[in-house]
Structure 1
Amino acid sequence: MLQQHKEIVQATVPVLQQHGETITTEFYRTLFEENPSLFNIFNPANQQNGGQARSLAASILAYAAHIDKLDQLGGMVNRITHKHASLEVQPEHYPIVGDHLLRAIRTVLGEAATPAVIDAWGAAYGQLAEIMTGVEQKLYTEGREQPGGWAGYAPLRVERKVVESETITSFHLASPTGAPLPSFLPGQYLAVKAQVPDSAFTQTRQYSLSQAANGTTYRISVKRESAPPHIAAAENGLISNHLHRSVHEGDTILAHVPQGDFVLRDNSKPVVLLSGGVGITPAICMAEHLARNSNSRPVLFVHATTQRRHHAFRDEVRALAAAYPHTRALVYYEKVSPADVQGRDYDLEGRITIDSLRPHLFEQATDYYYCGPVGFMAAVENVLDELNVPLSDRYSEAFAPDPSFVTELANA
């Protein structure tokens, strides 16, 4: 990529800040109108609520701002390439995306999209596509060639289906042949591919692996989603409801080898795991791994949920804390009922605050991992800011695009 191209791309950063979301909204509109088969890859609900457009706009803006120091974008590239790999995005998809992106830039910017600007962005996109496809092909090769690995999507048999709470159900999966399953890192996810009856397209969703690797089974724990008023029920919650209602023990589902970059860092620092709602799924996997494999690394498992009937893995977490002295659990209930017992069901009433959390934290430098709904994530960020926790000690994963472009930009 020529230096003059980099300078032009960087000069467009203010324009992207102003028009980025409009550009990506236009991009997705024409992309799907002319390539409807891509709905087999993209989640329609994220298109309807605008989340995908905001997420893409934030990523493009971050790329433009760092075009001459790409080493600072490693986290963003890893997150996107792992997601692409779980969706089986292939090199031939990139020219299609690039064409529609440049067309959207022309449409939105009009005369400001000069030939020089379009040439620069064409070169920038080509550079990014080369980086992404290189990483993705490596992930495909590793997934295929690792012990027990496979390419694409393979059938896994539902050995057990376990109700964990009013909204969360676990699926214990194994190879139909009894063959060993590939290992994975705590925090990674399993992509599940399904076609719901009467739906025109297949859909793929990523579900965190909620139990530490054992070589023979995977456990995913799925929250049954309901559709907000502004999103068609047929789109939001389509796959989670299908799994809850229609997939039973003995059935098979199609799954990808595990992917994801929200994983534990290998060091000796204490760990605080903060989860809200279904964000408990990667957190409990991390907690189990740390409890069983680290005799000296202190762990604080913090979980917040609305009430007892929404509290998944209550007994499992308490058992881990009881069996491993270096692991502690702290549970918040927003609503406590007369039947709830403090110290058994929950520890603190209300939402997580700095005043209620601070007495339980470690005095030395600590790694913080957090996952949950948008509001929970924002609250945790505020607490960590007040605690002056450096960004280098924070690791997070969002299960859906944030409704705020500002937040998506910060994530990117």
Structure 2
Amino acid sequence: MISQKSIELVKSTAPILQQYGETLTRHFYKRMFLSNPDVSAFFNVKNQAIGTQQRALANAISAYAENIKNLDVLHSAIDLIANKHASLMIKPEHYPIVGENLLASIKEVLGDNATDEVFNAWREAYCFLSELLINRENQIYNNNANKSGGWHGFRNFKVIKKEKESSLITSFYLQPEDKKALPHYFPGQYITLRVPTPDGFKTMRNYSLSDKPGLNYFRISIKREVALNQEIPAGIVSNILHDKIDVEDILEIGPPCGDFFLNTDEYNGKSLVLLAAGVGITPILSILNFATDNMPEREIILIYGCKNQVVQPFKHKIEALSKIHSKLRVHYRFSNPKLNDFNANQSCSIGKINMQLIESLITEKDADYYFCGPKPFMSTLFKGLLDWGIPNNQIHFEFFGPKEDLQNNSKGTLR
């Protein structure tokens, strides 16, 4: 446990961290990568380049300081971080590396504000948090290894099929090279790929499983991340997978992880509303496939937004589901449609997904809401659903990228 004196000292630094948080975390990452370059494999180069990783850590440190007197508030965040760490195979021996560089950065950046007392308090707080995370991560590792078909570490998978879903998204169908069974996973979870990079190192990325559990393969559907400008580079791993990986190739894969998934235990007759934008359809499609198979009596509404049918993945798969399942309603929202995007056989409209559209399509708002997509989409929906009167425990979301505040009282899952 942390001493009461250290708790008070850490909490007293919260205003300073809010002011200097990003300066501190930029310094920290630069310092750590220089002194321990081997840990760079655990981090996304693009997120580092555009600063989202630095902002994410700054927000996390500030939240820890602010809520250190009531750690129950941070329980969901700790579980989220532990799942992320477990997906990347973070080990106890990595924590001293992070701790040494983070504490040194606090001293170097905060200067006179980081007195010996404050420094020692943060060291105590960091050790306490490390222990919480290490224990939770060990639970996840053991659960993944001990379940039927499970494993620990990375396992070789063969690409058995590569299918183009749109101009930007391609699906990879994966089976274990050892031909042994696959574990059950929860619809909405993700796996980790470890991929060699052109510089001779390996790096890791999380990708949502885009099909239902219980099949003899995993499917991931990956968007090619193109360079937007000099500050936002192309995605290294997504382009390697699109251009270099083909059928029969072998990929290293970690077991399914993540705490964003369809909660079947809490189903009490409510409708299921699935909302997706862009590549955010991938975990939502896994949930949709599972729900239509296992809850045929449940009302399901899918609202999917993208620019147009050129970049729209899974159109034929979704339409096939809607023909089979009478309880499923689908609406497409196109922000930049082409002339042939509309036909009389589908429900669709022009614009971006917003609360006005949702309220017009949902007759019974007391439902469970699951959504995933870009940050503006997430922010709009989360705030809009709360303002509409949807209870927080009926709102479930996942954000691609490092954890960033969508709203101060957000309790969804961001990765």
Matched residues in 2 for 1:314 and 1:92: separation?
46
- Quote how far apart the aligned CAs of 1:217 are: 0.5
- Please show how residues 172-211 of structure 1 align to structure 2 within 5 Å: 172-196=173-197, 198-211=198-211
Q: Is the 8 A contact 2:386 2:392 kept in 1?
A: no
- Please show how residues 122-141 of structure 1 align to structure 2 within 5 Å: 122-141=123-142
Which stretch shows the higher mean deviation, 299-308 or 345-354? 345-354
Q: Secondary structure at the match of 1:261?
A: coil
> Which residue in 2 is equivalent to 1:399?
400
1:246 to 244, 247, 254: 244
Task: Give identity over the alignment, percent.
Answer: 35
> Which residue in 1 is equivalent to 2:377?
376
Matched residues in 1 for 2:346 and 2:363: separation?
23
Matched residues in 2 for 1:21 and 1:84: separation?
22
Letter in 2 for 1:216: N
Q: Secondary structure at the match of 1:339?
A: helix
> Which residue in 2 is equivalent to 1:223?
223
**1:332-356 Cα distance to aligned partner (Å, 9 max, x none):** 1112222223354661111113222
- Quote how far apart the aligned CAs of 1:330 are: 1.2
Matched residues in 2 for 1:141 and 1:45: separation?
31
Q: Is the 8 A contact 1:58 1:408 kept in 2?
A: no
TM-score normalised to the size of structure 2? 0.94
Matched residues in 2 for 1:141 and 1:409: separation?
33
Give the aligned CA root-mean-square deviation in angstroms: 1.8
Q: Is the 8 A contact 2:161 2:173 kept in 1?
A: yes
Matched residues in 2 for 1:355 and 1:40: separation?
43
Matched residues in 2 for 1:409 and 1:241: separation?
34
Q: Is the 8 A contact 1:304 1:351 kept in 2?
A: yes
**Is 1:295 equivalent to 2:296 in the alignment?**
yes
* Structure 1: runs of 5+ lacking an equivalent: none
- Quote how far apart the aligned CAs of 1:395 are: 1.5
Matched residues in 1 for 2:24 and 2:365: separation?
45
Q: Secondary structure at the match of 1:5?
A: helix
**1:147-193 Cα distance to aligned partner (Å, 9 max, x none):** 11122111101111000000000001111232211111011001111
Q: Secondary structure at the match of 1:192?
A: strand
> Which residue in 1 is equivalent to 2:69?
68
Which stretch shows the higher mean deviation, 278-287 or 68-77? 68-77
- Quote how far apart the aligned CAs of 1:52 are: 0.7
Q: Secondary structure at the match of 1:258?
A: strand
Matched residues in 1 for 2:58 and 2:10: separation?
14
- Quote how far apart the aligned CAs of 1:265 are: 1.9
Q: Is the 8 A contact 1:298 1:326 kept in 2?
A: yes
**Is 1:363 equivalent to 2:364 in the alignment?**
yes
> Which residue in 2 is equivalent to 1:306?
307
Matched residues in 2 for 1:232 and 1:76: separation?
27
Letter in 2 for 1:218: F
**Is 1:102 equivalent to 2:100 in the alignment?**
no
Which stretch shows the higher mean deviation, 14-23 or 272-281? 14-23
Q: Is the 8 A contact 2:308 2:341 kept in 1?
A: no
Q: Secondary structure at the match of 1:184?
A: coil
Matched residues in 2 for 1:408 and 1:122: separation?
29
Are residues 411 and 29 of structure 1, via their aligned partners in 2, closer, same or farther at CA, if it must alter by over 3 Å?
A: farther
**1:355-410 Cα distance to aligned partner (Å, 9 max, x none):** 222122142522211111122222323432442323222211111137xx654866
Letter in 2 for 1:59: A
Matched residues in 1 for 2:283 and 2:185: separation?
12
Which stretch shows the higher mean deviation, 210-219 or 375-384? 375-384
> Which residue in 2 is equivalent to 1:49?
50
- Please show how residues 319-358 of structure 1 align to structure 2 within 5 Å: 319-344=320-345, 347-358=348-359
* Structure 2: runs of 5+ lacking an equivalent: none
Q: Secondary structure at the match of 1:257?
A: strand
Q: Is the 8 A contact 2:195 2:203 kept in 1?
A: yes
Q: Secondary structure at the match of 2:333?
A: strand
TM-score normalised to the size of structure 1? 0.94
Q: Secondary structure at the match of 1:152?
A: coil
Which stretch shows the higher mean deviation, 342-351 or 279-288? 342-351
Matched residues in 1 for 2:52 and 2:288: separation?
30
Matched residues in 1 for 2:208 and 2:115: separation?
44
- Quote how far apart the aligned CAs of 1:251 are: 1.1
Letter in 2 for 1:247: I
Letter in 1 for 2:235: G
Q: Secondary structure at the match of 2:183?
A: coil
- Quote how far apart the aligned CAs of 1:301 are: 0.9
Q: Secondary structure at the match of 2:119?
A: helix
Q: Secondary structure at the match of 1:368?
A: strand
Which stretch shows the higher mean deviation, 249-258 or 390-399? 390-399
Q: Secondary structure at the match of 1:318?
A: helix
Matched residues in 2 for 1:408 and 1:251: separation?
42
Letter in 1 for 2:142: T
Matched residues in 2 for 1:256 and 1:30: separation?
28
- Quote how far apart the aligned CAs of 1:77 are: 1.1
Q: Is the 8 A contact 1:272 1:300 kept in 2?
A: yes
Matched residues in 1 for 2:367 and 2:357: separation?
18
Q: Is the 8 A contact 2:194 2:204 kept in 1?
A: yes
Q: Is the 8 A contact 1:273 1:302 kept in 2?
A: yes
Letter in 2 for 1:70: L
Letter in 1 for 2:53: Q
- Quote how far apart the aligned CAs of 1:94 are: 0.5
Matched residues in 1 for 2:257 and 2:15: separation?
34
Q: Is the 8 A contact 1:55 1:408 kept in 2?
A: no
- Quote how far apart the aligned CAs of 1:215 are: 4.0
**Is 1:237 equivalent to 2:235 in the alignment?**
yes
> Which residue in 2 is equivalent to 1:87?
88
Are residues 343 and 156 of structure 1, via their aligned partners in 2, closer, same or farther at CA, if it must alter by over 3 Å?
A: farther
